[in-house]
Amino acid sequence: MTSSTEIIEVKNLSKYYERKIALSSLSFSIKKGELIALIGPSGAGKTTLLNTFATIVKPDEGRLVIAGIPSEKLTNRKTLAKKIGIIRQQFDLVGQLPVIHNVLSGRLADWGLIKSLVSLIIPQEKQAALKALERVGLADKFMEQTSKLSGGEQQRVALARLLLQSPEIILADEPVASLDPARAEDILSMLTKLAQEENQTLITSLHSVEYARKYFTRIIAIKNGEVFFDLPAEKVSDLLLSDLYQLKERSDNGES
Ligand SMILES: Nc1ncnc2c1ncn2[C@@H]1O[C@H](COP(=O)(O)OP(=O)(O)OP(=O)(O)O)[C@@H](O)[C@H]1O
């Protein structure tokens, strides 16, 4: 029986692209409030896995249950927005609009068309948006044109939008790849802190093992579409990581 604290259940999940196996019979479960980093070499299947959680990619085999609902039944936009929020490397913001409108777009799935259109003239739920901006340290920039903000600030706007959406699960595909190390750490520490404060489940793909260890509680390593290891962050050894990325030194007799 599924425990009530399980928010995602993956059972024998597979995805094929023509003859290529992107995900190969994955099975694991994720509890509410876990902070999970997905790591692994390029092409391992991390994005495909996140996209199946986002219901953008349909698995070919197996079972995926999200917040008690089989993923194939998560078709209602409003329900999906309550369950899953997505944060991307490219931020997905409308650059020409003031910051506040981008933050309020976190509520669009919940609002009807009329309220959404009215909000473009008279921002609806402005107080909630300002509060979210305050939490990400951008309260003073709420009327600024979004495209004029720095990359790190734009990612914070995306975090404020996520606060307004308030999903149970946050999926982030390489959310800091385009930021310099200081901004990347800033965003990751904010993202993990907000997720913890809101008791949200966070699943992030990362190329940086260092960030995965520093900010996340559990690391799931994917290789060739399979789970290579699934461990608490503090149990991930350098040896496992060099196996994962095949960083082994050549041995004395020349064999790799
Ligand atoms: N739409 C697609 N059509 C065909 N093959 C695909 C498609 N999407 C992904 N693949 C293949 O599936 C495998 C897994 O890709 P995926 O993007 O999930 O890996 P990844 O771990 O996210 O890689 P990266 O770290 O480089 O982003 C790769 O071999 C990729 O080429």
Domains of the chain from N-terminus onward: 6-93+166-244 (3.40.50.300)
The Cβ-side half-sphere exposure at 182, using a 13 Å CA radius, reads 1
Report the separation in Å between the CA atom of 240 and the middle of ligand 1, taken as the mean of its atom positions.
23
**CB distance 47 to ligand 1 below 6 Å:** yes
User: Which atom of ligand 1 lies at the shortest distance from residue 222's CA?
Assistant: 21
The residue-averaged pLDDT of 227-235 equals: 97
**pLDDT-based confidence at 231, cuts 50/70/90?**
very high
Q: How deeply is 241 buried, as exposed, middle or buried, from its count of CB atoms within 10 A (0-12, 13-18, 19+)?
A: middle
CA-based max dimension of the chain: 73
Q: What pTM, to 2 d.p., does this model score?
A: 0.90
User: Which atom of ligand 1 lies at the shortest distance from residue 48's CA?
Assistant: 18
CA-nearest residue for atom 1, ligand 1, is 17
The ipTM (two decimal places) reads 0.96
**pLDDT-based confidence at 220, cuts 50/70/90?**
very high
Spatial separation of the C-alpha atoms in residues 189 and 29, rounded to whole Å: 24
The residue-averaged pLDDT of 14-30 equals: 94
Report the separation in Å between the CA atom of 17 and the middle of ligand 1, taken as the mean of its atom positions.
9
**pLDDT-based confidence at 249, cuts 50/70/90?**
low
